[in-house]
Amino acid sequence: MVEPALPFLAELKRRNVIRMAGLYLVGAWLVTQVAGTVLPMLGAPDRVGRTVLALLAIGFVPALVFSWLYELTPEGLKREPTCGRANRSAPTSVAGWTGSPFWACSC
């Protein structure tokens, strides 16, 4: 059961998804600490702090998807190459599934 997870983790590292998750969590922690300090001084209601936390939590998954799809290069944002469809010569089944997981690219 451990074997199929290793290529997936390698792909996550290659696409910098793990790095993005760490940076997002550190940034979200910093924002919540600042909001927890500043919002009471401004007299903001408690729901503002909870809203900030909820928005940060909701934004976590789209940030990870964005980091999976795009790569930051010196030339700017580039779309991560999808090797599954471009490198296949012919589908091996009606659905086009070769039997390997979607992250197990050979490029």
Q: How far apart are CA 53 and CA 35, in angstroms?
A: 9
**In this structure, what token pair is assigned to residue 14?**
């290659």
Percentage helix, strand, coil, to 5, in the chain? 60, 5, 35
Q: Within 10 Å of residue 93's Cβ, how many Cβ atoms?
A: 8
**Which run of H or E residues covers position 79?**
strand 76-79
* pLDDT for res 82: 64
Chain centroid, CA 40 distance in Å: 32
Task: Using only the alpha carbons of the chain, give its radius of gyration.
Answer: 20
* Per-residue pLDDT in tens (0 to 9) along the chain, 107 residues: 556 778 888 888 888 899 999 999 999 999 999 999 999 999 999 999 999 999 999 999 999 999 888 887 778 778 877 654 444 444 444 444 455 555 545 44
pTM (global) more than 0.75:
no
